[in-house]
Each structure stands twice: as structure tokens, then as C-alpha cells.
Amino acid sequence: MTRTTYRWAALFLVLPLAVYIAIVVFPLLSSFYYSLTDWNGFAIDYNFVGLENFEKMFSDRLFSNAIGNTLIWTVAAIIVPTGGGLALALVLHERGVFANLYKSLFYLPISLALAVIGQIWLWIYQPDWGLINASLRTIGLGDLTQAWLAKPQFALLAVILAWSWQQTALSMVIFLAGLTAIPQELIEAAHIDGANYFQRVRRVIVPLLAPASVVVIALAVINSLKSFDVLYVMTRGGPFHSSDNLAMFMYNESFQKYNMGYGSAIAVVLFLITLAVIIVYFRQSAQVERLYD
């Protein structure tokens, strides 16, 4: 590598590096600093309060509520999009009559914004004429109709379902790509050995999809941790904070109540949780790669 090449490398890197550090890395680190202050978002002065914001979390029931809901969302993110996406991919991979048409249909939610999806699902849950209640009445189960988003016991699950609608489609795309990469000879061999369809799926296809599954689950979990748009549009964390997740709680504390110090501390917790997930993800994918190489 010559001196001029070094110069070119430096020249090419200076702009991307400067923008990335100034707008992504430095702010990320500053959040740790703000989490140790009582800044209110506007005042020039603020105090250094040490770990007070983090201590406050332990006694803040809204915080533990948000953590609990985030956990529920994460568990749902592991189960629903993974199971649903796998099922969809398996069905669509069999070259049925309308497979291509169906595929496009399932791709659609991926290009829709979560804000739009939230809006659409608001009407699905709408109490008077929403799709769910209207369907329940049609099949004679009118007693089960609910104001879904206004009930604390349903609101969070309703939002998670709307979110899963998109995430499942995304998982399906990744599983489909994984299925295409499986050598058909292996499946055929199992078939000849007398394995029925479900045995082939369980014993051959699913194990071979392990690399794709790791990606699907990691993506769903990371997306679930930062999910905000769909929640903001549908419930804003309500009713009575019943659907607050960490991202929503952080937004409310920081940009509604202007407790930016506390908000930063919540963001730091969210960051650390994500970091833990990412470490697990890289360990898993390294393990899977060793197994499959």
C-alpha cells in the first residue's frame, strides 16, 4: 500500500466518518452523560445528579410497567412472526396455483409504513363498525365485541398483533430465501425414506433453516424493542399506560413531561437491553455457522 493510496483512503473516509461520528456515535454517547443529569430540555443550566435517575426507576411503577410490556412484546416477537412467517413461507414455497400472486400480497405490508399500518388497524378494532366487531356480530358472537383499544387488558395485545402483521411478512421473506437455498435432494431423500410431509418439515427443513431462523428472531426482537410508530398512532401507550413500552415511556417522559435526564436514563436501559440481545445474536449465529460449515 503506497503513500498516495493512504491519502486516497483518508480522503474518501473523512466525510462518512465525520457525519457518522457527529450524528450517530457522539449523540449515542452523550445520552449516557445526560442520564446522569436533571436536564429539562430547555434550561441552559442543569445539575449533575449521579445515578439518581437510575435509582428512581426502581420505585417508578410506570417504569416497571413499561419493562413488563416490552418483555411481553419481545416474547410475542419471538413467537408470532417466526411461527407465522415459517408457515407462510412453507405454504408459498410449494408452487401452488397462485403462489406468486400470494407472495406479492404478503410483500405489501413490508413497504407500508408502520404509521399507516397503525391507522389501518385502528379501523379494524373500531368498536362500532371495525372489522373484528362486525365479524363477531355476523357470526352471532356479538357478546364478545369490545372497544379493544380502550380496554387495558386488550390494548397492548391489539397493538402487538397489528405490528406482527408486518413483521410476519418480513420473516416470511427471509424464510423463503432460506428455503430456496436448501438443496432439494435432501428433502427428496427424506421423502424416499418414507418421511411424511410434517416429518420432513420437522426433521429436515426446520433444522436446515436454523441460520435464517436466527436472523428472523434477532430482527423481530430488535424491531420489537424500538417499536414506537404503531403504538403512537394506535394508543400512545394508553389507556392508563397499559400499552406503554420502553420506547413510548421514554418519549412521554422526555418530550411530554420534559424530564430529559430521566428520559436519557430510560434510553440507556433500552440500549443496554438491545446490546445484550445483539451479543446473544452474534454468539448464536457464530454457533450456527460452525455447525453448518
Partner 1 sequence: MTNTIVHDDRRAAASLASDRAQPSRAPMIIFYALLTIIVVMYSAPSIGVLLASLKSTAEIAEVGVWAMPRSFALTNYAEAWSGGNAGIYIRNSFFVTVPATVISISLGVLAGYTLSKLKFRGSNALFIFFVAGLFFPPQIALIPLFRLFNDLGLYDTLWSLIIIHVAFGIPICTLILKNFFAAVPTAIREAAIIDGANEWQILTKLMLPLSLPALAVLTTLQFTWIWNDFLWPVILIRSDEMRTVMVGLASLKGQYSVAYGVQSAMAVYASIPTLLVFVFFQRYFIRGLTFGSVKG
For residue 33, give the C-alpha cell.
452523560
| Closer to partner 1 by Cβ: residue 88 or 156 | 88
Instruction: Tell me whether residue 130 or residue 237 sits nearer to partner 1 (CB atom).
Output: 130
Tell the smallest beta-carbon distance from residue 130 to partner 1 (Å).
8
Q: Which is nearer to partner 1, 109 or 237 (CB)?
A: 109
**Shortest separation between residue 148's beta carbon and partner 1, angstroms:** 15
Smallest distance, partner 1 to C-beta of residue 26, A: 7
Task: Write the CA distances from 181 to 95, 167, 208, 211, integer angstroms.
Answer: 15, 22, 9, 11
Q: Least distance in Å: CB of 188 to partner 1? A: 4
Q: Which of 106, 154 has the CB closer to partner 1?
A: 106
Buried b (16+ CB within 10 A) or exposed e, 168-185: bbbbbbbbbebbeeeeee
Q: How far apart are CA 260 and CA 30, in angstroms?
A: 12
**Nearer to partner 1 (CB atom), residue 140 or residue 183:** 183
Q: Where are the beta strands (DSSP E) in 47-134?
A: none
Work out how close the CB of 152 gets to partner 1 at its nearest, in angstroms, rounded to a whole number.
22
d(CA 148, CA 122): 10
Give the nearer residue to partner 1 in terms of CB position, either 21 or 51: 21
For partner 1, the closer of residues 4 and 153 by Cβ is 4
Q: Please report, for residues 23, 63, 98, 276, the alpha-carbon distance to residue 66 in angstroms, rounded to integers and kept in the order given.
A: 28, 5, 43, 18
Tell me the HSE value of 206 on the side-chain side, using a 13 A CA sphere: 12
In angstroms, what is the minimal distance from the CB of 72 to partner 1?
17
| Residues 26, 14 contacting (CB under 8 angstroms) | no
Local structure of residue 243 (DSSP, 8 states) = T
Nearest approach, Cβ of residue 232 and partner 1 (Å): 7
Residue 271's CB is within 10 A of a number of other CB atoms, namely: 15
Q: What distance in Å separates the CA atoms of residue 37 and residue 46, rounded to the nearest whole number?
A: 7
Nearer to partner 1, 55 or 188 (CB): 188
CA-closest candidate to residue 28, choices 286, 198, 270, 281: 270
Cell 483518508 belongs to residue: 10
DSSP secondary structure, 211-235, as one string: HHHHHHHHHHHHHHHH--HHHHHHT
Q: How far is the CB of 39 from partner 1 (least distance, A)?
A: 8
